[in-house]
Structure 1
Amino acid sequence: MIKAVLFDLDGTLLNRDESVKLFIENQYNRLIEFLSHIPKEMYVSRFIELDSRGYVWKDKVYEQLVDEFKITEITWEKLLQDYLSEFKNNCVPFPNLINMLEELKSNNLVLGMITNGYGQFQMDNIKALVIDKYFETILISEWEGIKKPSPQIFIRAIEKLNVLPKESLFVGDHPVNDVKAAQNVGMKGVWKRDTQWDDVEADFTINDLSEIPLIINKLNK
Structure 2
Amino acid sequence: MIKAVLFDLDGTLLDRDASVKRFIHSQYDRLARIVGHIPREEYVTRFIELDQRGYVWKDKVYQQLVKEFHIKELSWEELLQDYITDFKNHCVAFPNLVPMLEELKSRDLRLGMITNGWGQFQQDNIKALGIEKYFDRILISEWEGIKKPDPEIFKRALKQLNVPPQQSIYVGDHPENDVKAAQNAGMIGVWIKDPHWQAEVEFIINDLSEIPLLIKNSRKLAGEKYDI
- The TM-score normalised by the length of structure 2 is 0.95
Please show how residues 85-164 of structure 1 align to structure 2 within 5 Å.
85-164=85-164
Percentage identity across paired residues of the two chains: 69
CA RMSD of aligned residues (A): 0.7
Question: What is the correspondence of 1:198-213 to structure 2 with a 5 Å cutoff?
Answer: 198-201=198-201, 203-213=202-212
Distance 1:182 1:92 in 2: 25
Q: Residue type of the partner of 1:132?
A: E
Residues 8 and 171, structure 1, Cα contact 8 Å, conserved in 2 = yes
- Deviations 1:47-73 (Å, cap 9, x if unpaired)? 000000001010110000000000001
Query: Could you report, residue by residue, the CA deviation over 1:12-49 in whole angstroms, capped at 9, with x for unpaired residues?
Result: 00000000010000000011010110000000000000
Name the SS of the counterpart of 1:127 in structure 2.
helix
1:27 is matched with which residue? 27
How many angstroms apart in 1 are the aligned matches of 2:8 and 2:110? 15
TM superposition shift of 1:200: 2.5
Q: Which position in structure 2 is the counterpart of 1:172?
A: 172
Aligned mates of 2:94, 2:116 — CA distance in 1: 19
Taking a change above 3 Å as real, the CA distance of residues 165 and 5 of structure 1, as seen in their structure-2 partners, is same
Indicate conservation of the 8 Å contact 1:192/1:206, yes or no. Answer: yes
Instruction: Give every structure 1 segment of 4 or more consecutive aligned residues whose post-TM-superposition deviation is greater than 6 Å.
Output: none
How many residues are treated as equivalent by the alignment?
220
- Mapped to 2, the partners of 1:46 and 1:18 lie a distance apart of 15
- In structure 2, how many angstroms separate the alpha carbons of the residues matched to 1:71 and 1:154? 42
Contact 1:191 1:200 in 2 (8 A): no
Deviation at residue 164 of structure 1 after TM alignment: 0.2
1:73 aligned counterpart, secondary structure: coil
Q: Contact 2:175 / 2:199 at 8 angstroms: preserved in 1?
A: no
Residue 197 of structure 1, CA deviation: 1.9
In structure 2, what is the equivalent of residue 195 of structure 1?
195
| 1:186 shift after superposition | 1.1
1:131 Cα deviation from its structure 2 partner: 0.3
SS of equivalent to 2:64? helix
Residue 213 of structure 2 aligns with which residue? 214
Q: Secondary structure at the match of 2:14?
A: coil
Which residues of structure 2 form unaligned runs of 5+?
219-226
Q: Tell me the distance in 2 between the aligned counterparts of 1:73 and 1:157.
A: 44
Q: Answer whether contact 1:12 1:173 (CA < 8 A) is retained.
A: yes
Amino acid at match of 1:192: I
Structure 1 unaligned segments of length 5 or more: list them: none
Check whether the contact 1:66–1:72 (CA below 8 A) recurs between aligned residues.
Answer: yes
- Between the aligned partners of 1:205 and 1:113, the Cα distance in structure 2 is 19
Tell me the amino acid that sits aligned with residue 105 of structure 1: K
SS in 2 for 1:191: strand
Amino acid at match of 2:51: D
CA distance in 2, matches of 1:199, 1:216: 21
State the AA in 2 paired with 1:191.
W
